[in-house]
Amino acid sequence: MPSALSIGQATREYGEDLVLTDPLTGLGNTHRFYDKVNRLIAERADDPAPFAIGVLDLDGFKPINDLFGRAAGDEILHQVAMRLRAAMDEHSTVTRIGADEFAFLCPMVFSEDTIAEKARMLIEILSAPYDVGHRTARLSASAGCSLFYSEEDTTDLLLSKAETALYQAKRSGRGIVVVYTREMEEAAKRLTRIEQALRRAVAAGEVEPHFQPIIDLTTRRTVGFETLARWTDRDLGVVSPATFIPIAEERGIIGQLSQLVLRKAVEAARDWPEDLFLSFNLSPSQLVDHNTGLQILAILERTGFNPRRLEIEITETGLMSDPASAEKIVNDLRRMGIRVSLDDFGTGQSSLGRLRDFQFDKLKIDRAFVSSILTDRPSEHIIRAILAMCQGLGMDVVAEGIEEEAQAERLVEFGCAGGQGYLFGKPCDADETRALLRGTGENRRRAAG
């Protein structure tokens, strides 16, 4: 008969095991992962032989969860856990550390190449179909890995490095493996510096709108302006939108940034002639935020700007993240009298069916086709096809990235009505745009006189 002491010890061990176990998958949880890594670091304190950890994140799990339901999502996570556990050797451990995030520890892996190969193998295992009732689902995964080299590498630091690598992997696409390097550390620090400076700049209202003319290609008359965000930091200097816009998008600042720039843009555009419209870009994340339409309307009401003079540009990529939400926002905007334009057409992943499902007022031909219109027959045929399609759908068209007179003439020949690009003007700030419009108005008056 077991003693009371042994029963008590078994009870304590069972309780401790529960604390360290993820109840859904049966894998260890974050506490178990930390316990395992901490013990391994302590064992190798005197002779710090390398070992590796990795973090796997399921790509596209949320849409699958939304489509099949919570119970099916839990079943998929259970199947993921079974596959990962079966793929571990006798020395390695896998744990669940987030909703759809798993961490693995490989004590006998000593090099970057080996852990990268291990992670790629795990991703391949996870890419096989999952049984969900009478249906099947597919998903992929991304992985970030890091290696222990010295006693300075704590568990927190190793996990932080792996998460940084994972972040880089997910930015690069799906099914990607990235192993942490010192160059990534410097890049991550720079991104953090830019993020903190951007947060301060948005709070202080230091990001400014610049305006690039959109013209009637036949008459060469300016019909509107596209708003482009510009930022000069007191320490960083001029920061390219190609740098700070993705950071704002990824770090959750894009909403505040967009509202700031839109407010400043419509305040400037109030003084323009009434026949000029203002075009403004929405980010993909704003197309999944159901408050976007209300936020835009609130800005227009506060500034007294006519909604019929505003045109909102969205991209094909933005439509793909949550088509139902995007459709609702597009319909809300159009009910306000705001025109909606599909930007960068031809470079995203959307199908032609999107043009039927969504009511767009305008389509913008991507600069990639315009830049090669004089030398590349396929680009020429694609532009002709887009123009014919838009004519049939009753949509206006603007060609972007026009830099040469010959490009503009060819577009007019094809029947393209609108154009935009450095040939007609670079983006200017509000004061320069106002001066440009005063000069244009004076020229008009002289011509009329």
In this structure, what CATH number is given to the domain that contains residue 442? 3.20.20.450
Does any domain span residue 171?
A: yes
Separation between Cα atoms, residue 25 and residue 32, nearest integer Å: 14
How far is the C-alpha of 202 from the C-alpha of 385, rounded, in Å?
Answer: 42
> What does the alpha-carbon distance between residue 270 and residue 370 come to, in Å, rounded to a whole number?
32
CATH number of the domain where residue 21 is located: 3.30.70.270
Q: Per-residue pLDDT for 70 more than 90?
A: no
- 192 part of a folded domain: no
My answer on whether 218 and 172 are in the same domain is: no
Indicate whether 190 belongs to any domain: no
Instruction: Find the catalytic residue in 400, 404, 409, 432.
Output: 400
Q: Let me know if residue 194 belongs to a domain.
A: no
Say if residue 225 is in the same domain as residue 125: no
Contact 162, 144 (CB under 8 A): yes
Q: Please state, in angstroms and rounded to a whole number, the distance separating the CA atoms of residues 54 and 159.
A: 8
- DSSP code, position 383: H
Token pair listed for 74: 């839990």
* Residues 176 and 36 placed together within one structural domain of the fold: yes
Indicate the residue among 165, 180, 195 that finishes a domain.
180
Please indicate, yes or no, whether residues 162 and 220 belong to a single structural domain of this protein.
no
85 and 27 co-located in one domain: yes
Give me the domain span that covers residue 293.
Answer: 203-448
Q: What CA–CA distance (Å, rounded) separates 40 from 31?
A: 14
Considering the domain architecture, whether residues 121 and 240 belong to the same structural domain is answered as: no
Residue 153 included in any domain:
yes
Q: Please check the confidence at residue 18 and state whether its pLDDT lies above 70.
A: no
Give the DSSP H or E segment for 216: strand 208-216
User: Can 400 be counted among the known catalytic residues?
Assistant: yes
| Residue 176 sits in the same domain as residue 214 | no
The predicted pLDDT at position 63 comes to 80
Is the dihedral angle over the CA atoms 36, 42, 47, 50 positive or is it negative? positive
In a domain, 238, yes or no: yes
Q: 179 has which bridge partners?
A: 145
Residue 20 lies in a domain: yes
253 and 336 part of one domain: yes
Both 271 and 159 in a single domain? Answer: no
Q: Using an 8 Å Cβ cutoff, are 97 and 33 in contact?
A: yes
pLDDT band at residue 185 using 50, 70 and 90 as cut-offs: confident
pLDDT tens sequence across 403-446: 999 999 999 999 999 999 999 999 999 999 999 998 765 454 44
Beta strands in 217-275 (DSSP E): 222-233, 237-239
Instruction: Dump pLDDT digits (tens) for 211-228.
Output: 999 999 999 999 999 999
pLDDT mean over 126-135? 88
Q: Are residues 158 and 207 in the same domain?
A: no
pLDDT of 1 strictly over 70: no
Which residue, 262, 253, 270, 267, is CA-closest to 227? 262
Tell whether 212 and 271 lie within a shared domain.
Answer: yes
* Overall number of domains in the chain: 2
Asked whether residue 5 is assigned to any structural domain, the reply reads: no
Determine the Cα–Cα distance for residues 323 and 326; give it in Å rounded to an integer: 5
